[in-house]
Structures are given as structure tokens and as C-alpha cells.
Amino acid sequence: TIQAMLTITGMIDAAGNVAEGVLGGTVTSIVGIQTLQMGVFGGIIVGLGVAALHNRFYKIELPAAISFFGGSRFVPIISTLVYIGVGILSFYLWPFVQKGIYALGGLVTGSGYIGTLIFGLIKRALIPFGLHHVFYMPFWQTAVGGQMEVAGKLVEGGQNIFFAQLADSANIAHFSADATRYFSGEFIFMIFGLPGAALAMYRCAKPEKRKQAGGLLLSAALASMFTGITEPIEFSFLFVAPMLFGVQVLLAGTAYMIAHMLNIAVGLTFSGGFLDLFLFGILQGNAKTDWFKIVIVGVIYFILYYVTFSFLITKFDLKTPGREDDDQETKLYRKADYLARKNGSKDTKENVPTDEKSDLIMKGLGGKANISDVDCCATRLRVTVNKPELVNQSILKSTGCSGVVQKGNGVQVIYGPGVTVIKANLEDYLESQENVEYISENREDTAASKETDTVANDAAQVEKTIVIGSPLNGICQNLSEVPDEAFAGGMMGEGACMIPEDPYLYAPTDGEVTFVFDTKHAIGFQTDTGISMLFHMGIDTVKLDGQGFEVLVENGQKVKKGDPLLKMDLEFIKKNAPSISSPILCTDLDDNMKVRLLKTGNVQKGEDIIAVDILA
């Protein structure tokens, strides 16, 4: 969209060349497409927007005719449409935003050590809300974090400047501390400070809980020291003692400023753990990075964190890990725990989401504890269960599915093209449920029930039943056994899956041949009782272009039950098609027509296999 706007306004020519008079650096090429130089902000705009659209539309249900595009499949469609408009708006608005970015960058870089302190305080304070990435990334990747000429090129962003200097390190006497001030301070509190806090919490734990708390806190401290992942520690005291998080924000903010003041210039890729310190500090030499000052200041910070946390924990009896009441579990808290508390969520019946269909699916699968994995394809909900014997097909069928296939620990529940919404609802519902098994009474547990897909109707409601015979000599199976999602999901009609054992297709009842496909692999049929049918021989046999098939009838021909309609070369088809499984379908059914499978296993031509109940 932006490239089109650049072309229309004459900023680039038809060949994609930037026109004279356009300010250098404002237009760039990304994978061959000319666009505005938005840097990381472009990704932020797209990421936040698509996330919002996903949360708004991932459960949308569309009309039956286009239901395949509902749920999560609708998100890329609406995102494409929305971002056409966003692209046009960005073309006009971005120049003003760009000026603001340069002004902000000038303000921060021009405020010296105080600017670094403010940056550090804001970044750490935003962690509970998950917004720190949005805040710091522009300082790392764009002109907000400053500009510097390195090896003859103008580089923008603190992290980009560091890595540009690293690539040209032979000509660099000392890396720029002005560029690394946005992250060098992290090594001080991540490697030294927070482990000191962990030691304080361990020492303050109750004696009987100290061993358990020690194991948890040790793993959290090691994660912070080696990888710079601080969430396990920070969210623990944020959840139980927000006062301690306030102290952490203040100490961490000053660490950024102190590193800047001491001219420490150690870069990083992700976070301030020992791995990054080793790669971008120690290996680069103290002369270029002053990394040894991190150790000196770090020892002071370790003591400062330990003393401060110990004093506050004991003074105010803060319930850090190991100091909980006897009836509470000793654990490290996560961001989800903090958000749940912030939103006032409680584990009460009033706050548990109610979704009758998802509840039935969960119970039919044996409860949350029995569900190992949930996924879906085009038409089927695919679930892996821990104990197959707890699956209750009767409950699953009561949810409106067209069939259930259970093989070992795998369960497939066929819902049709709207299954993505059902999957999303089930996953959300499971989040709020107790992790227990559900053992139902009168569980359906016969082999036949696992291989057949019948729709039971109250006999009092059935006005008329039309019975249809088998058009083949062979094996009759549930339609869900067809190795094709569209057929198996009932998208083309309801009926049976048949595996032919002799080369002829026969008329299942008196009727008329309504059409013969040019590729000879399928025949349309109308019974004298008014049921439209489709006999589709094999899967993907349309690609055979008629080879292996000999049609014995023509369009509009009247036939009697048992008359041959088609001759097949079964060996040729088996070798050249994915499967010989053949859907035998009742199509164009009215809403009051329900299809039942009467028999599975070996059947002979003309033997009753399908019943169509016409309801009153």
C-alpha cells in the first residue's frame, strides 16, 4: 500500500528509484518493496494491531456457506483489509511521527545521566504490564537511542551502534557508553543484584520451608545470572510484596545510570546475563568495555539487595517464598498470577466461564486431566487423551458433531469447517477448569460404537424412512474414515465410506443417472424416492483423467436396482490414486432429513446400508 502511495505521489518512479528532492533515509526497500523507513515502529504497529484484531475476531462465526473462513482463519483476512487503510494513513502521518521521534531522541540523549536514570526506571516499572519491550526497543533500534557515524555509515539506535562498532572493533578504541547506556546497567542487577535478593528471601524463609524455597530460588537466581531472565524472581515479590518491586525498580534504574557514569560499554543481544557479558564484554577486553567495573559495582549491589530485602522482609513480615502461611503452597509466581490478582480474579464458581458445548466436549474427553493436546484441521477437532477408556462418544455426539473417530489415544471429533471456533472456545474453557478426570456413567464402550456414526432420532418424530442399498460389493465404513477432510467432515454430503472389492459400481435402488463426470470417476444419481446421491470412486481420482474407469451409463438414463453403472480397474486405481476409499453420499438434503448408517463391515450390492429419516 505504501509503495503504491509513494508511486502515486511521485516519491519513487515506476522502476522503484527514489526521486530527487526526497530526504535521504526516509524511503527504504524491504524484500524488494519500497516503503517508508519506519524501523522497528513498523513492526510494533503491525504486531499490536494484528494482536488486537486476533483477540477481537478469532472466535467469529460466519454463515454456513463461508464458515470455513471463520475463527482464526478470519484474522489474516481482516488484517489484510485493515492494514490497507493503515498503510494509507501511515503515508500521511508517519512524517509527523518521525519528527517527534527525533525530538524525543534528542531530549533523552541531551539529558545525560538523568535521562539514563529515567529510562531505567520506566523500563523496569513497565515489566508487570508487558510493555517494556514496546518502550525500550525504539531506543535500541531507532534514532530515539541516538545516532553515530561508524565506519563511514550513519547508524541509529543504541544496540545497532554497538554492533556496528563491534564489527569495526579494530578501529574502535572504546565502545560508546552513550550507545550502551540503555542496557549495560542490566548486568549489574541481573547477575549480582537479584541473586542477592534471592539469597535474602532464602535466609528469611521459615526453617521448615527453607529447603523447598531454596530449590526454587536457586533456579530463579541462576536463570537471572546466566540468561538475564528475571521474571521468576521479580514476579514472586511483585505478587506477594509490591513494596519490594518498588525497591527493585529504583535500584535497577540507578544501575543503568551508574554504568553510564562509569563509561561501561558492554552490549547484549537479549538481556543482561553472564553469557552476553562473556561474549560482548570479557572477550572484547576491558580496555574497550570496562567490563571489570561491572564486577566491582555488582558486588556492592549484591550486598545492597541482600541487606535491603532482608530488612524489609523481616520488618514488614512480607510473605516471600518460604514465609507463606502453613496452608499455602511455596512457589514462584508468574506474570499470569500477577495479572489475575490485578484483575480481581478469584477461583469461584461465579468467575468460571460457562460454555455448555465446551463443557460437554471436555467431559466427553474424560475431563481436563485426561486431555493431553488439542488441535484441529479443516473439519475435525483432534485431541490426544491420556486414558482412551475415559472417552465417552455419546457425550461427544450430543455436542452436534457429525462423527467421532477414536484410535488409541487419538480422538477426532468431526464438526465441519467451523471447528476452529470450537477449538478456540474449548482451549479458553479449559484454562478455567479444575485439572481432574471426568468419569461418566453408562460409557459407550463397544467396538461398533467407535467405528460407526449414527444419528439417533426419536421414533415418534420420524415421519418416513427411505432405505438405500449398497452400490458396491466391499467393505462399508463410517464416512469419517474417508482419508479426505472435505468428505469425512460431511461438507459434500452424508453417507458412508466404501472400499470396493469387485470392479463394478451398481445402482443402489431404482432411479436416474443425473450426471457423469467427464473424468468418469464420479456419478450423480437420483433415487425414485427423491434422494440425490453422489458416488465418488476413490480419492483424488479426478487427476487420473478417466484412466481406470469405464462408464456403462449416460446422463438421464433410467436404471433399476443392481444395474451396473461403472467398471473400474481397481489395481490401476490403487497404484495411481491416494486411496480407493469411495464416499457414497446423500446430497442436497433438507433440514428435516437425517442420515443413518445401518451396517458396517462386509456388504453385498443391494444390501441395506443407509437410511434417510424424514422428520415431521
> Model confidence over 82-106: pLDDT tens digits?
999 999 998 999 888 877 766 766 7
For residue range 369-409, list pLDDT tens digits in order. 999 999 987 778 989 999 999 999 889 988 988 778 787 88
pLDDT at 3 over 60: yes
- All three cell numbers of 79, joined, read 488484517
pLDDT bracket for residue 582 (50, 70, 90): very high
pLDDT at 19 over 60: yes
Q: CA quadruple 339, 342, 347, 348: dihedral positive or negative?
A: negative
CATH code for the domain in which residue 481 is found: 2.70.70.10
198-208 average pLDDT score: 94
Distances (CA, A) of 193 to 177, 220, 290, 302: 21, 13, 19, 4
SS3 (DSSP) at 606: coil
The residues annotated with a catalytic role in the active site are 377, 536
pLDDT at 243 over 50: yes
pLDDT bracket for residue 346 (50, 70, 90): very low
Residue 584 near residue 471 (C-beta atoms within 8 A): yes
> Is residue 148 in some structural domain?
no
Question: Does 314 lie in the same domain as 446?
Answer: no
pLDDT at 349 over 50: no
Note the pLDDT of residue 447.
40
For residue range 123-144, list pLDDT tens digits in order. 999 888 777 887 888 899 888 8
Residue type, 240: V
Question: Does 301 lie in the same domain as 271?
Answer: yes
Number of domains in the chain: 4
Question: Does 472 lie in the same domain as 413?
Answer: no
Question: Does 286 lie in the same domain as 180?
Answer: yes
Note the pLDDT of residue 441.
66
DSSP letters, 98-155, are HHHHHHHHHHHHHTHHHHHHHHHHHHHHTGGGT-HHHHHHHHHHSGGG-EEEETTEEE
The Cα 359–Cα 429 span in angstroms is: 8
Helix pair 194-204, 292-316: axis angle to 10 deg: 30
DSSP letters, 267-309, are --SSS-SHHHHIIIIITT-HHHH-THHHHHHHHHHHHHHHHHH
Distances (CA, A) of 427 to 364, 366, 376: 15, 15, 11
Question: Does 367 lie in the same domain as 315?
Answer: no
Total Cβ atoms within 10 A of residue 55: 10
Q: Which of 428, 451, 474 is the endpoint of a domain? A: 451
For residue range 511-552, list pLDDT tens digits in order. 999 999 989 999 999 999 999 999 999 999 999 999 999 999
63 or 610, greater pLDDT: 610
> Is residue 116 in some structural domain?
no
Domain ranges, residue 387: 351-451
Question: Does 41 lie in the same domain as 21?
Answer: yes
What are the residues facing 533 on neighbouring strands?
525, 586
Question: Does 433 lie in the same domain as 466?
Answer: no
Residue 455 near residue 518 (C-beta atoms within 8 A): no
Note the pLDDT of residue 379.
75
The Cα 289–Cα 281 span in angstroms is: 6
491 or 247, greater pLDDT: 247
Note the pLDDT of residue 189.
97
Total Cβ atoms within 10 A of residue 90: 21
Question: Does 592 lie in the same domain as 488?
Answer: yes
Helix pair 356-364, 419-431: axis angle to 10 deg: 80
The Cα 287–Cα 173 span in angstroms is: 8
The Cα 483–Cα 23 span in angstroms is: 59
pLDDT at 250 over 80: yes
Indicate the average pLDDT of the chain.
87
Q: Which of 110, 145, 175 is the endpoint of a domain? A: 110
Residue 322 near residue 206 (C-beta atoms within 8 A): yes
pLDDT at 444 over 80: no
Nearest to 272 by CA among 55, 120, 46: 120
